[in-house]
């Protein structure tokens, strides 16, 4: 066993933003195992102050180019609650389809382009193109279709424009929706099935590490909760989203410009694996069949399986998007205008499952409809303490291996969480401790 | 004379100062009704989506702010093979997929257009704000002239003599 170990991976690749892995072991005693977050803070919450309700989603969606849609949806729900804006069933259905598209896009990009190279023990997606060119093409096709879902329903692929608080400024027509449905059936489902098969062939490379932790996700009575639901902990059950602060308890640690979170233990996990553990009973049979093929069982306490849970829920998203489009086509698209007449000015909380876990926004509005204060709690921040706890358990388990292998194992662990570090950094007072 | 499609593709974030140069060029093209035969594409920060817009034939011109070591507002034309040598840094970093990685990916799956030109513009200010620096705004006529030159050269190569 290696008694002394010192690892510092600067600027981990294939994650969004800047994080360093730091491990120190002295004479067999682990002194440090953590993910240092060194991304510069960007002060989005301060930018929201004094802004009107029309601007909140436009600004917050800029927190991230990958999860822009998730920030938008969360922002709309927060504003609608704070200002008492009722929205229609049609608006909810369209938003759910958008969330499905964004979830598929992000999950596929992560599982096939960022995580799969780890299973093949290669440094990037490029060797994967050599060995599995068809899966790369399938991933790009799926990404393209997800972009088109956003373009058709929300006017633009990145940072959508026609979805606004209270509804949509422009609605898709039946022919466009029918075309999307056809492509979901003829392209997306076969591509997802193919991707699942390829990952099944790589699944033996997934490390057999486990650590029991608390899993937190949304949960709702009637569907696999992504767009909306109560906050659900695998330890303590459901609470309304207004109690998000007691479920996140953000605190500052010296080694990260992003805050850490905890609920009932020293850490908890959010994201696809947490959703799987809490909501697998809400998945469609097709997604459950893929889970079985990929060896994903509930409850699952192996964080490396997060990547697999992403593929499983993507299948559900595609099937459910088809169902939602069918229902919209049956009812007919109603020419509704967005409801933007506030019935009150107060505070609101919005919680949405975005690809990396629960995203919370909270705004308080003044009587002129301007934001007085804002708080955003990002899923990657919620996962950081859990990543550190995983590292502290995994290092002693693998410390007798060659250093290169230890480093790869740790990088793979962090990447399994699909962290979006750029999003998660929002601290106002940073002091670096050397 | 039948002209193949010309695609003018902007990449970059218009809320990030000079990173929005591509979008600003597209806006100018629309305002002045230039390049009536061209398809205008704003890929924003999603460089991977470029692969979806690529077709094997036709001219593709990509406009991107990139650090190349030129004075601010400097404009350079180069080909896909030169991207990794010419661009030291660009803001397209969705999980590390910048322009160079995207073009490499396209090449590996045989989706690189036969005629693809990148017009790089040296940024001065890349910070969250709204608007271009004076030096990059002043470069827009030169960028438009570069696009015009590419279109002319492409059309003369493809016209029926």
The model's pLDDT over B107-118, given as tens digits with 9 standing for 90+, comes to 888 888 889 999
Confidence (pLDDT) at A244: 96
| Of A13, A16, A129, Cβ closest to residue B108 | A129
A–B interface: beta-carbon pairs under 8 A: 57
Contact list, B94 vs chain A (CB under 8 Å): 16, 65-66
Distance CA(A128)–CA(A112), nearest Å, equals 9
- Give the rounded percent of residues in chain A with a pLDDT score beyond 90: 67
Give A139 to chain B, closest Cα distance, Å: 11
Which region among A124-133, A135-144, A392-401 has the lowest average model confidence (pLDDT)? A124-133
- Could you say which residues from 8 to 37 on chain B have a Cβ atom under 8 Å away from some Cβ of chain A? 13, 15
Strand, helix or coil for residue A68: helix
Query: Is the confidence at residue A256, as pLDDT, over 80?
Result: yes
Strand, helix or coil for residue B98: coil
Which region among A3-7, A41-45, A223-227, A376-380 has the lowest average model confidence (pLDDT)? A41-45
Confidence (pLDDT) at A431: 27
Which region among A170-184, A262-276, A318-332, B35-49 has the lowest average model confidence (pLDDT)? B35-49
Biggest CA-to-CA distance, chain B: 50
Strand, helix or coil for residue A144: helix
Query: Is the confidence at residue A331, as pLDDT, over 80?
Result: yes
Question: Radius of gyration of chain A from Cα atoms?
Answer: 21
Give the 3-state DSSP-derived string for A250-297, with helices as H, strands as E and coil as C. CECCCCECCCECCCCCCCEECCHHHHHHHHHHHCCHHHHHHHHHCCCC
Confidence (pLDDT) at A427: 36
Query: Is the confidence at residue B141, as pLDDT, over 90?
Result: yes
Q: Residues B155-159: what's their mean pLDDT? A: 84
B84 interfacial to chain A (CB closer than 8 Å) = no
Antiparallel, parallel or unpaired: β A167-168 and A163-164:
antiparallel
Tell which wins on pLDDT, B73 or B46.
Answer: B73
Tell which wins on pLDDT, A126 or A189.
Answer: A189
Residue of B nearest to A147 (CA): B49
Give B156 to chain A, closest Cα distance, Å: 33
Confidence (pLDDT) at A430: 24
- Best mutation target among B84, B93, B95 (most A Cβ atoms within 10 Å) is B95
Q: Is the dihedral of CA A173, A179, A185, A189 positive or negative?
A: negative
| Of B94, B105, B108, Cβ closest to residue A65 | B94
Contact list, B128 vs chain A (CB under 8 Å): 42, 62
Query: Is the confidence at residue A166, as pLDDT, over 70?
Result: yes
Contact A114 B95 (CB under 8 A): yes
Please give the mean pLDDT across all residues of chain A: 90
Contact B108 A13 (CB under 8 A): no
Tell which wins on pLDDT, B90 or A29.
Answer: A29
Residue of B nearest to A110 (CA): B95
Antiparallel, parallel or unpaired: β B6-10 and B38-42:
parallel
Q: Residues A68-90: what's their mean pLDDT? A: 95
Tell which wins on pLDDT, A136 or A291.
Answer: A291
Contact list, B108 vs chain A (CB under 8 Å): 126, 129-130, 133, 136
Of A351, A307, A264, nearest to A80 (Cα)?
A351
Confidence (pLDDT) at A296: 96
Of A360, A359, A211, A214, nearest to A278 (Cα)?
A214
| Of A14, A140, A158, Cβ closest to residue B95 | A14
Confidence (pLDDT) at A433: 31
Confidence (pLDDT) at A249: 94
pLDDT, tens digit, for every residue of A383-432?
999 999 999 999 999 999 998 899 889 989 999 998 876 655 543 322 22
Binding-site residue ranges of A for Mg(2+): 45, 426
For residue A8, give the DSSP letter.
E
pLDDT band at A41 (very low <50, low <70, confident <90, very high): low
Which region among A90-104, A123-137, A356-370, B56-70 has the lowest average model confidence (pLDDT)? A123-137
Contact list, A133 vs chain B (CB under 8 Å): 108-109
pLDDT, tens digit, for every residue of B5-43?
899 999 888 878 898 999 999 999 999 999 998 999 998
């Amino acid at each position: 066993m290696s008694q002394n170990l010192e690892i510092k991976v600067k600027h981990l690749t294939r994650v969004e933003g800047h994080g360093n892995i730091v491990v120190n072991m002295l004479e067999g005693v682990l002194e440090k195992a953590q993910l240092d977050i060194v991304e510069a803070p960007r002060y989005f919450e301060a930018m929201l102050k004094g802004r009107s309700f029309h601007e909140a989603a436009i600004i917050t969606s800029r927190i991230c180019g990958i999860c822009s849609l998730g920030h938008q949806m969360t922002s709309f729900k927060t504003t609608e609650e704070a200002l008492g804006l009722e929205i229609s069933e049609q608006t909810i259905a369209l938003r759910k389809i958008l969330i499905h598209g964004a979830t598929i896009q992000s999950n596929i990009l992560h599982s096939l382009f960022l995580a799969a190279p780890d299973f093949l023990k290669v440094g990037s997606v490029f060797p994967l193109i050599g060995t599995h060119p068809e899966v790369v093409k399938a991933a790009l096709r799926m990404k393209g279709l997800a972009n088109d879902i956003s373009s058709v329903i929300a006017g633009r692929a990145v940072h959508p424009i026609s979805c606004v608080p209270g509804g949509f400024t422009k609605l898709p027509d039946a022919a466009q929706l029918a075309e999307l449905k056809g492509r979901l059936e003829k392209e997306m489902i076969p591509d997802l099935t193919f991707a699942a098969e390829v990952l099944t062939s790589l699944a033996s490379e997934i490390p057999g590490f486990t650590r029991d932790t608390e899993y937190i996700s949304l949960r709702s009575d009637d569907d696999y909760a992504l767009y909306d639901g109560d906050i659900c902990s695998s330890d303590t059950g459901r609470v309304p989203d207004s109690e998000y602060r007691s479920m996140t308890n953000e605190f500052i640690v010296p080694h990260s410009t992003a805050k850490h979170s905890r609920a009932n233990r020293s850490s908890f996990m959010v994201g696809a694996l947490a959703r799987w553990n809490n909501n697998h009973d809400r998945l469609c049979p097709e997604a459950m069949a893929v889970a079985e093929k990929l060896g994903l069982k509930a409850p699952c306490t192996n964080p490396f399986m997060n990547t697999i849970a992403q593929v499983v829920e993507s299948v559900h998203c595609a099937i459910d998007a088809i169902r939602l489009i069918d229902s919209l086509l049956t009812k007919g698209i109603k020419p509704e205008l967005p409801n933007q007449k506030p019935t009150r000015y107060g505070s609101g909380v919005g919680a949405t499952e975005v690809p990396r876990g629960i995203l919370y926004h909270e705004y308080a509005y003044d009587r002129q409809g301007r934001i007085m204060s804002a708080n955003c709690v990002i899923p990657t921040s919620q996962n950081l303490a859990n990543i550190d706890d995983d590292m502290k358990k995994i290092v002693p388990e693998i410390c007798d291996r060659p250093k290169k292998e230890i480093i790869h194992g740790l990088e793979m662990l962090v990447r399994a969480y699909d962290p979006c570090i750029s999003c998660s950094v929002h601290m106002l007072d940073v002091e670096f401790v050397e | 004379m039948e002209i193949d499609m010309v695609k003018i593709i902007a990449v970059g974030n218009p809320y990030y100062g000079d990173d929005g140069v591509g979008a600003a060029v597209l806006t100018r093209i629309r305002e002045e009704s230039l390049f009536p035969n061209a398809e205008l594409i704003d890929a924003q920060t999603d460089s991977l989506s470029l692969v979806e817009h690529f077709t094997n034939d036709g001219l593709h011109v990509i406009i991107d702010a990139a650090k190349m070591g030129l004075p601010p507002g400097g404009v350079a034309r180069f080909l896909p093979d030169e991207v990794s040598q010419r661009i030291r840094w660009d803001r397209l970093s969705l999980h590390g997929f910048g322009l160079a990685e995207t073009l490499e990916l396209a090449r590996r799956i045989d989706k690189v257009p036969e005629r693809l030109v990148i017009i790089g513009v040296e940024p001065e200010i890349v910070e969250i704000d709204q608007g271009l620096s004076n030096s990059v705004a002043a470069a827009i006529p030169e960028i438009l002239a570069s696009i015009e030159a590419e279109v002319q050269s492409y059309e003369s190569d493809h016209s029926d003599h």
